[in-house]
Structure 1
């Protein structure tokens, strides 16, 4: 069963109408981003775990929360689940004594360097790539995590079971499906796969329109 966040191509939500907006509409949005980055620097979870925490928000909350409300709510869940703070501390808005993670706090003068380094996810893979640019492939159906029922995956439901072709091979990368659940990085070959828009949506806005997805090798089989 797909989670509420996996809404690409879903009917009934209206058109997407991008409009110029400030990076942060409200002052607390910037603080939400800052505290999320600072908490991540404590080393208690990885990027894929963080993404999955937003996906796990209750459907009613996910539908009504704004973008940064999703971030801060998911962060609160992570902080409690990993024992960084207690529910009582969250409710009180302050810690109960010194944290054993205090020495890992991200200092202001370290932020620029940390952001510049990012979190590279490229890793070596023992075996060679199964596919090459130009190969026809079909994606796994259903779009599910093969390790954990209802778990994190980067294969969107709208692309499940679709036929496309390999556009580019990116080398080995951490597999989010495993990494999000503490099962190790399990690196696999990563590809950009291009699909005809009509293959995904039934009809295309314009003939020749294409959609590209970055997909891991275990999501794919020869077409």
Structure 2
């Protein structure tokens, strides 16, 4: 079953309206939300896939009414409590906070630029050999759900499930989010850029000849031949 966040191509959500390139934050607190997310991530208690899963696990009621950065804060609050870094009472301000044993890992202001410049590369060596090459016809697996964890995180969108596409290029081997989000190891495997015709994805595409290019891990794909 799909979750509320898996809304790509869903009818009725309106057009995508690009924002001005210089309009990064709409509110002052959005900057703080980004800063807090970076600072807590630097504590090393979770990875980017874990944090994405936390946001996706918000209740449908909260997910649909929260703004972008409210989703970030909702997911982060759940992670902080789940990992035992703070209590619900501390977050609510109903009890005095207890000093954290991870305080010495706190990111300082002069470290931020270096951390952002370094990024978080997800390419890794893998013992799984690639089985597809550019030009190969492939089919996305028919069930988009995480095959390792019931209700778990995945990067396979439901609208692409069972669709036929062609491999444009191989990106090398990368961490598998379906595993990494749940503490099951990085499990790197080959990652491909796959092009899908709009007419393959939707029954009534506005521009049938358009293509959608998705990055797909090898376990998401099957040979079309």
TM-score normalised by length of structure 1: 0.96
Q: Distance in 2 between matches of 1:100 and 1:187?
A: 32
Question: What secondary structure sits across from 1:134 in the alignment?
Answer: coil
Contact 2:128–2:189 (CA<8 Å) still a contact in 1? no
Q: Distance in 2 between matches of 1:84 and 1:108?
A: 21
Distance 1:93 1:200, change over 3 A: farther
Q: Measure how far apart 1:155 and its partner are.
A: 0.3
Q: Measure how far apart 1:95 and its partner are.
A: 5.6
Q: Distance in 1 between matches of 2:128 and 2:157?
A: 26
Deviations along 1:132-163, one digit per CA (max 9) or x if unpaired, are 00000000111010000111000000000000
Distance 1:113 1:19, change over 3 A: closer
Instruction: Number of aligned residue pairs: give it.
Output: 223
Q: Distance in 2 between matches of 1:87 and 1:7?
A: 30
Q: Distance in 1 between matches of 2:191 and 2:197?
A: 20
Structure 2 unaligned segments of length 5 or more: list them: none
Structure 2 partner of 1:36: 37
Q: Measure how far apart 1:200 and its partner are.
A: 0.5
Q: Distance in 1 between matches of 2:115 and 2:95?
A: 26
Deviations along 1:98-155, one digit per CA (max 9) or x if unpaired, are 2100011001000000000111000011132110000000001110100001110000
Contact 2:136–2:167 (CA<8 Å) still a contact in 1? yes
Contact 1:170–1:191 (CA<8 Å) still a contact in 2? yes
Question: What secondary structure sits across from 1:25 in the alignment?
Answer: coil
Structure 2 partner of 1:120: 121
Structure 2 partner of 1:7: 7
Structure 1 partner of 2:145: 144
Q: Distance in 1 between matches of 2:71 and 2:128?
A: 38
RMSD between superposed Cα atoms in Å: 1.3
Contact 1:85–1:95 (CA<8 Å) still a contact in 2? no
1:84-123 mapped onto 2 (5 Å cutoff): 84-92=85-93, 96-123=97-124
Distance 1:9 1:207, change over 3 A: closer
Q: Distance in 2 between matches of 1:75 and 1:48?
A: 12
Structure 2 partner of 1:198: 199
Distance 1:95 1:161, change over 3 A: farther
Moved more, 93-102 or 127-136: 93-102
Moved more, 3-12 or 173-182: 3-12
Q: Distance in 2 between matches of 1:111 and 1:95?
A: 28
Q: Distance in 2 between matches of 1:36 and 1:80?
A: 14
Q: Distance in 1 between matches of 2:120 and 2:223?
A: 31
TM-score normalised by length of structure 2: 0.96
Structure 1 unaligned segments of length 5 or more: list them: none
